[in-house]
Structure 1
Amino acid sequence: MNKLPLIAAAIAVLAVGGWYFSSQSDGTPGATSFTAEAQDTADANLSLVSEMTLGNPDADVTVIEYASFTCPHCATFHDAVFPQLKANYIDPGKINFIYREVYFDRFGLWAGITARCGGADRYFGIADMLYERQKEWAQGEPSEIAANLRKIGKTAGLTEEQLDTCFADAEKAKAMVATFEQNAAEDNIRSTPSFVIDGELMNNMNYDDFASILDERLGD
């Protein structure tokens, strides 16, 4: 289980070395100017960041997942537990499910930018790809990881122009970091994956334990 670093430290890590996402004249990834903004999110426009949700927004039970696209335990959860949770509780409208990104490093932030680049309609499909291919894309030098994420984005139907626009949006990225900072502090998130079920913080668990908690709260 990955331990969540202090928020200030996380933002500093995100800034180290730049983004490596903007395309230079030769088409290779290069650093952008995000470093300065990444160190101060006090003036971030949080309205730029949409909550990513599935299920029934009016359900009696709300589940919030905090996870990082670079977290192996999160990938395991999304492979072994989430499909059953989706089939049995989310799709039937029994619960309101909210997914919130955690950024341990700049690569997790880059992955979040990739997932959000397709908008709400494509977000969870791209998120699934990021977890399924985590061992493939999250390896190598920063420029290689950036290129790997671009491939995933294009596989999901995004154009080179769309990806360029998303990766160059420093204000949106700053807002994402600020949103992460605010949410993690409010819910006392210290590791991933973590879950907040109707306001109660819980650690990672298997499907049977998850279902038992949900059934109790749903009165099933």
Structure 2
Amino acid sequence: MKPAVTRLALGLAALPLALGLAACGKKDAAAPTGEIAEGAPVAAVAPPAGKTWSDVIVTTPEGGYLMGNPNAPIKLLEFGALSCSHCAAFSKEGFPKLRDEYVNSGKVSYELRLFMLNALDIPAALLATCGSPEAVIPLSEQFWDWQPNMFANLQKAGDAAYKDAAASPPAQRFTKIATMSGMTEFFNARGIAADKASTCVTDTAKATALANATDKASQDYDVTGTPTFILNGTKTGVATWDALEPMIKKAGAR
């Protein structure tokens, strides 16, 4: 039997356009979290010559994208969904300072693992990862900024168009969602050529892998909503920059 998230993503369970597009899943206050260990202040580390640490982005064995000093003693992992409005809020309110002050110091690394919260996230993730690994985090940040346009486009397309997509085979399904939501045009304008985007968004094997990775995150890290932040292996239980930054400082980035 396919895992639950895989069935949701590839089966495209009905998602009410008017009632849940910006939802980011369940944030369970009772989910197990740990106390962030207080660390001694960490020294800054110089980046490679001619670069800042935020220029350094590599893939991880778990399927994530890591920005910054790969040997940074403070490691921040975000499970984020491109359709999630709370992720978009964090991107706007916290990511610039996280990148410029903490990641660029060499003290903190930031890893993004895309989480398939609902059926919109599959084509969005397929397109965001269609180019080079170095582009995934910047494209994701730009997508979160653009995200309200996606919701507006879907509302304009209406329930009938969405139901038509739901009734289509998977490859056509994700193409239709990407088109009606404006995703295809968004990524075309940022260097993902139309023919390449068409190939990426119909990659059902990768879609299955993304959904399976989401199932694994749910099991391994108890991810029930997004954004979920893991700091040095500990689930923080917070979802905003105002709550997360003191934890990063406590870990030693001060």
Any unmatched runs of 5+ in structure 2?
Answer: 14-59, 155-160, 166-175
For 2:111 and 2:218, the matched residues in 1 are separated by: 14
In structure 2, the residue corresponding to 1:77 is in which secondary structure? helix
Structure 1's 215 and 95: CA in aligned 2 closer, same or farther, altered over 3 A?
same
In structure 2, the residue corresponding to 1:164 is in which secondary structure? helix
Q: Kindly indicate whether residue 192 of structure 2 is the aligned counterpart of residue 197 of structure 1.
A: no
Q: 1:62 aligns with which of 57, 62, 75?
A: 75
For 2:94 and 2:216, the matched residues in 1 are separated by: 27
Structure 1's 219 and 66: CA in aligned 2 closer, same or farther, altered over 3 A?
closer
Q: Kindly indicate whether residue 97 of structure 2 is the aligned counterpart of residue 92 of structure 1.
A: no
| TM-score computed with the length of structure 1 as normaliser | 0.76
Identity %, equivalent residues: 20
- Residue 204 of structure 1 and its aligned partner are, at CA, apart by 3.0
| TM-score computed with the length of structure 2 as normaliser | 0.67
Q: Which residue of structure 2 lines up, in the alignment, with residue 129 of structure 1?
A: 142
Structure 1's 93 and 163: CA in aligned 2 closer, same or farther, altered over 3 A?
same
In structure 1, the residue corresponding to 2:230 is in which secondary structure? strand
Q: Which residue of structure 1 lines up, in the alignment, with residue 65 of structure 2?
A: 52
Deviates more, 1:141-150 or 1:208-217: 141-150
Higher strand share: 1
C-alpha distance after superposition, 1:101-146 (max 9, x if no partner): 1112111111111110112121122112210111111342446641
Alignment check: 8 A CA contact 1:54 1:96 kept? yes
In structure 2, the residue corresponding to 1:192 is in which secondary structure? coil
Structure 1's 191 and 50: CA in aligned 2 closer, same or farther, altered over 3 A?
closer
Alignment check: 8 A CA contact 2:123 2:177 kept? no
- Residue 205 of structure 1 and its aligned partner are, at CA, apart by 4.3
Q: Which residue of structure 1 lines up, in the alignment, with residue 31 of structure 2?
A: none
In structure 1, the residue corresponding to 2:106 is in which secondary structure? coil
- What's the RMSD between the two structures over aligned residues? 2.3
- The number of residues matched between the two structures is 186
Larger radius of gyration: 2
Any unmatched runs of 5+ in structure 1?
Answer: 1-6, 19-46
Q: Kindly indicate whether residue 8 of structure 2 is the aligned counterpart of residue 13 of structure 1.
A: yes
